[in-house]
Amino acid sequence: MRVRRLAQLTLPAEVRRALNVQEGDYLEAKIVKDGVLLKPVAMVERKRAWKRIQKIASRVKDRKRDPQEDVKAEEEKIAEEVKAYRRDRKHA
């Protein structure tokens, strides 16, 4: 690699593939004993993340607990709902 104007570096294709990084992604650079360690960094845009949280929260429904239902059975029901949601999202 060669340091270019404005201290820019071009990562070789095999390095980009190994790190699973693309144009616009962020990397953390850390000085280590034998050189520099580059690590991908996940960045979240705050406004977009907050809008998503609000959208998800608006779908939450307050349901009163059924006093006749066993607590363990209720927890199992919730776990099944979460699993079904994840399956649906995975296949979407």
Going from the N-terminus, what domains does the chain have, and what CATH number goes with each?
Answer: 5-41 (2.10.260.10)
Q: Does residue 84 carry a pLDDT above 70?
A: yes
Q: How confident is the model at residue 40 (pLDDT cuts 50, 70, 90)?
A: confident
Q: Which residues have C-beta within 8 Å of that of residue 85, sequence separation ≥ 6?
A: none
Q: Does residue 37 carry a pLDDT above 90?
A: yes
pLDDT value at position 30? 94
> Rounded to whole angstroms, how far apart are CA atoms 33 and 54?
45
pTM for the whole structure: 0.42
* Ramachandran angles phi, psi of 3, nearest 5°: -75, 125
Neighbours of 71 (CB within 10 A): 8
Q: Which residues have C-beta within 8 Å of that of residue 3, sequence separation ≥ 6?
A: 9
> Rounded to whole angstroms, how far apart are CA atoms 34 and 70?
59
